[in-house]
Amino acid sequence: MPDYNLPAYAKTNDVKDQNQYEKMPIWLARQEVKAFADFHVFDKLFGSLKWKPNMGNNLRGVRAEKTPIGRQIFLPKPITEEPLKDIIDQEEVVNDSVLRMHYFDSLNFHFLPSYADFRDSQIGPINREIARQIAFANDMFIRSWVFEMADYVYVAGATTPLQDAPSNTGDPGMEEADMYKDQTWRQARVADIQGAGISLRQLDTAVAVMRDDVGAPFFEGLQNGSPAANEMVKGKYCLLGSSEMWQQWKWDPDMRTMLGDNQNLVVDGFRGSIFGDVTYKTVRYPLRVAVDGSLPVPEIMTETRNKTVPNPAYVNAPYEIAFLVAADAAQSISIGPPPADFAGGGNGGGISLKKFKGMRWNGEIELTDDILVTRTDGATTYYDTNRRREQLQLQSTLAMGCISNESRSCMPIMFARKRAA
Please report the pLDDT score of residue 119 as a whole number: 41
Distance CA 154, CA 178 (A): 22
Q: Find out whether 367 and 25 touch, Cβ atoms under 8 Å.
A: yes
More confident residue, 213 or 125: 213
User: Residue 265, Cβ neighbours under 10 Å: how many?
Assistant: 14
Residue 27 has φ and ψ, to the nearest 5°, of -60, -40
User: Residue 280, Cβ neighbours under 10 Å: how many?
Assistant: 24
Q: Is the dihedral of CA 218, 220, 226, 232 positive or negative?
A: positive
Most confident of 9-23, 166-180, 211-225: 166-180
Please report the pLDDT score of residue 264 as a whole number: 53
Residue 291 has pLDDT above 90, yes or no: yes
Most confident of 126-130, 211-215, 289-293, 394-398: 289-293
Residue 345 has pLDDT above 60, yes or no: no
Please report the pLDDT score of residue 333 as a whole number: 78
Q: Using the 8-state DSSP alphabet, how is residue 346 labeled?
A: T
How many residues in the chain? 421
Please report the pLDDT score of residue 114 as a whole number: 42
Mean pLDDT computed over 253-262: 63
Burial class, 227, CB count within 10 angstroms (exposed 0-12 / middle 13-18 / buried 19+):
exposed
Task: Report the range of poorest mean pLDDT among 12-16, 89-93, 144-148, 272-276.
Answer: 12-16
Please report the pLDDT score of residue 240 as a whole number: 92
Mean pLDDT computed over 332-349: 60
Q: How many domains does the chain have?
A: 1
Please report the pLDDT score of residue 347 as a whole number: 44
CA torsion, ordered 279, 285, 287, 290, to nearest 10 deg: 140
Mean pLDDT computed over 318-322: 95
Please report the pLDDT score of residue 29 as a whole number: 67
Determine, yes or no, domain membership for 57: no
Determine, yes or no, domain membership for 75: no
- The amino acid occupying position 149 is M
Distance CA 108, CA 128 (A): 16
Q: How confident is the model at residue 66 (pLDDT cuts 50, 70, 90)?
A: confident
Q: How far is CA 218 from the centre of its chain?
A: 20
Determine, yes or no, domain membership for 380: no
Determine, yes or no, domain membership for 104: no
Please report the pLDDT score of residue 12 as a whole number: 56
Residue 23 has pLDDT above 50, yes or no: no
Q: How confident is the model at residue 324 (pLDDT cuts 50, 70, 90)?
A: very high
Residue 16 has pLDDT above 60, yes or no: no
Q: How confident is the model at residue 336 (pLDDT cuts 50, 70, 90)?
A: low
Q: Find out whether 161 and 63 touch, Cβ atoms under 8 Å.
A: no
Please report the pLDDT score of residue 263 as a whole number: 55
Instruction: State whether residue 150 is helix, strand or coil.
Output: coil
In whole numbers, what is the pLDDT of the chain averaged over residues? Answer: 78
Please report the pLDDT score of residue 184 as a whole number: 94
Q: How far is CA 308 from the centre of its chain?
A: 22
Q: How confident is the model at residue 30 (pLDDT cuts 50, 70, 90)?
A: low
Residue 18 has pLDDT above 70, yes or no: no
Q: How confident is the model at residue 284 (pLDDT cuts 50, 70, 90)?
A: confident
More confident residue, 223 or 325: 325
Q: How confident is the model at residue 258 (pLDDT cuts 50, 70, 90)?
A: low
Q: How confident is the model at residue 255 (pLDDT cuts 50, 70, 90)?
A: confident
Determine, yes or no, domain membership for 118: no
Q: Is the dihedral of CA 189, 191, 192, 197 positive or negative?
A: positive
Determine, yes or no, domain membership for 203: yes
Each residue's pLDDT tens digit, 355-386: 666 666 778 888 888 888 888 887 888 888 88
Q: How far is CA 151 from the centre of its chain?
A: 19
Determine, yes or no, domain membership for 25: no
Distance CA 279, CA 269 (A): 10
Residue 32's nearest CA partner among 395, 399, 402, 419 is 395
Residue 238's nearest CA partner among 328, 147, 326, 149 is 326
More confident residue, 404 or 187: 187
**Number of H helices and number of E strands within the chain?**
9, 23
Q: How far is CA 80 from CA 73, 84, 301, 371, in A?
A: 21, 12, 82, 86
Mean pLDDT computed over 201-223: 85
The continuous run of DSSP H or E covering 366 comes out as strand 365-368
Q: How confident is the model at residue 289 (pLDDT cuts 50, 70, 90)?
A: very high
Mean pLDDT computed over 238-258: 82
Mean pLDDT computed over 102-114: 75
Q: How confident is the model at residue 411 (pLDDT cuts 50, 70, 90)?
A: very high
Percentage, residues of the chain above pLDDT 70: 70
Determine, yes or no, domain membership for 285: yes
Helices (H), 18-122: 25-39
The continuous run of DSSP H or E covering 183 comes out as helix 183-190
| Domain ranges, residue 327 | 150-333+401-416
Please report the pLDDT score of residue 320 as a whole number: 95
